[in-house]
A = this chain, B = another copy of it.
């Protein structure tokens, strides 16, 4: 999916919500455990209940890998199901990969070629040649970790060099030499509040993938105040607050309700992007 298509979907659906499919077999409603593939059954129900309210799904690979082969099957079935039934959805493999060139090539082949996923999250620690193999696929995206939502983001990402440039700022600046905003996005945690202002100075036009609203405590209001741009420029993820809104057999309806509340908040924000666009 290219940037224009993504922006159009956001405007049409008045939503920039991404539903995180962090599906933990230990947390799904008990009645699903008798299904042949409980994880896929759960995902399918969540997807059918939320697809008109969100513009992206983000399965987190860890949750699937923890089940080994079965998990991998559930992951592939989930991706195929979304692609077939909801082709306007942007699919993000939350994998946080990044390795030497020949290895990153294998990951890129896996996610983009074999599975036709739209975007992969990538860790920047190993630098340019670990990221570039993901950039060889047209209309596919790298979402590079910049400033994450967790407490540990303070350990290294905020360390400043002699010129006062912090590591996440260095990542934002350097990586813009590798690809433009048609192929790269950045992960910025919703918990980072006013830091969005700094980030928008360095990367005014890029989409930001924003985890951390909901269970992790980030505020949509603040993220939008400092992070929106004229294309919207935000994909805000919520995982646990939506998919585990209820743990009975009404889980899908509860997930829909939770997603709807966020989407309703977002509708007004999408409208306000037009103001940014007019100011341009």
Measured CB to CB, the residues of A under 8 A from B are 22, 24, 60, 62-63, 65-69, 72-73, 76, 94, 96-104, 106-107, 109-110, 114-115, 123-131, 145, 148-157, 159-162, 164, 167, 170-171, 174, 211, 216
Contact = CB atoms under 8 A, between A and B. Distances in A.
Contacts of A157: 125-127
B151 A170 contact: no
A19 to B, nearest CB: 16
B174 A63 contact: no
A167 B156 contact: yes
Contacts of A114: 66-68
B69 A69 contact: yes
A274 to B, nearest CB: 34
A162 B171 CA distance: 18
Given A69-B76, A126-B150, A160-B162, 10 more contacts: A60-B106, A62-B99, A63-B106, A100-B148, A101-B150, A126-B145, A127-B150, A156-B167, A159-B167, A162-B162
A153 B170 contact: no
A100 B150 contact: yes
A101 to B, nearest CB: 7
7 contacts: A62-B97, A66-B109, A66-B114, A124-B125, A125-B157, A127-B153, A155-B174
A198 to B, nearest CB: 18
A62 B151 contact: no
Contact of A152 (B76, B126, B152): B126
Chain B CB within 10 A, most for which of A99, A131, A149, A154? A99
Contacts of A211: 100
A13 B229 CA distance: 61
Contact of A156 (B63, B104, B110, B127): B127
A178 to B, nearest CB: 10
Contacts of A149: 100
Contacts of A159: 161, 167, 170
Contacts of A76: 68-69
